[in-house]
Amino acid sequence: MANKVTLTREFLKGLWEQNAVFKQVLGMCPVLAVTVSAENGIAMALATTFALVFSSFIVSLIKNWIPAQVRIAAYILIIATFVTIVDLVMKAQFPSLSKALGPFIPLIIVNCLILGRQEAFASKNSVLRAVLDALGMGTGFLIALFLLGSTRELFGSGTILGFQIMPDVYEPWLIMILPAGAFLTLGLMMGFFRTYSEKKKRVERDSIVDKYLRAKKVAETNPLEAN
């Protein structure tokens, strides 16, 4: 089983195909809470990725020594240790960012994305795979948070990463930076992405049916040519 999936796939699958936010609907609390601006979203995703990668590393390293009954508690303790490190570093190095994210940095501990990866992946795979998987999932999380954060920032304040995008006459939609806007934006984005992938699937299916029908038609009208 171990060699069925290539190492690059291990990394790439987290980016889109199994994207934590849009596909698995995991780790919703920070996603909705901190995406008032693209910058906050990126900071949050980086902090989460750090905790995720190091927790996956440690968990996959010591997976054989953790008794099954207390594994969840052990995972949470490992995660909490790394989140404490992130929190202290951010408080010292980026005080304004740390203030903007507030209690959502310590809340990374209970982000179901991290615990989910430990339980579903890191505890069953080798160290290298666990780290690659964690990096992929973290990057996917970053993509999602950046998309959501920049959309909300664009409509809510007319800027992306602090740069003015909308013309001066644009009246910012207050709703986008309020809590209600977070729910609405994420819901709509998720719906549109699903519409897109459904459409792609349908086009693929139609093209196969089409090919079959055309071949059949050719065979009916001109049996010799088809053979």
Partner 1 sequence: MELLLLFLSAAIVNNFVLSYFLGICPFIGVSNKISSAFSMGLAATFVMTITSIVTWLIYHKILVPFELEFLQYVSFILVIASLVQFVEMFIKKVSQPLYRALGIFLPLITTNCAILGLALFIVLKEYSFIEGIVFGLGAGTGFTLAITLMAGIREELDLADVPKPFQGAPITLIVAGILAMAFMGFAGLI
Query: Where does this chain bind partner 1 (CB under 8 A)?
Result: 25-26, 28-30, 32-33, 72-73, 76-77, 80-81, 83-84, 87-88, 102-103, 106-107, 109-112, 115, 175, 178-184, 186-188, 190-192, 194-195, 198
Cα 101 to Cα 99: distance, rounded to the nearest angstrom: 6
Instruction: Give per-residue burial for 209-225: e unless 16+ CB within 10 Å, then b.
Output: eeeeeeeeeeeeeeeee
Residues present in the chain in total? 227
Question: How far apart are CB 197 and partner 1 at their closest, in Å?
Answer: 8
Q: Considering beta carbons, is residue 61 or 73 the nearer one to partner 1?
A: 73
Question: How far apart are CB 28 and partner 1 at their closest, in Å?
Answer: 4
Cα 46 to Cα 205: distance, rounded to the nearest angstrom: 39
* CB of 62 closer than 8 Å to CB of 105: no
Q: Considering beta carbons, is residue 204 or 218 the nearer one to partner 1?
A: 204
Q: Considering beta carbons, is residue 122 or 182 the nearer one to partner 1?
A: 182
Cα 130 to Cα 53: distance, rounded to the nearest angstrom: 8
Question: How far apart are CB 9 and partner 1 at their closest, in Å?
Answer: 25
Q: Considering beta carbons, is residue 32 or 161 the nearer one to partner 1?
A: 32
Cα 138 to Cα 122: distance, rounded to the nearest angstrom: 14
Question: How far apart are CB 186 and partner 1 at their closest, in Å?
Answer: 5
Question: How far apart are CB 198 and partner 1 at their closest, in Å?
Answer: 5
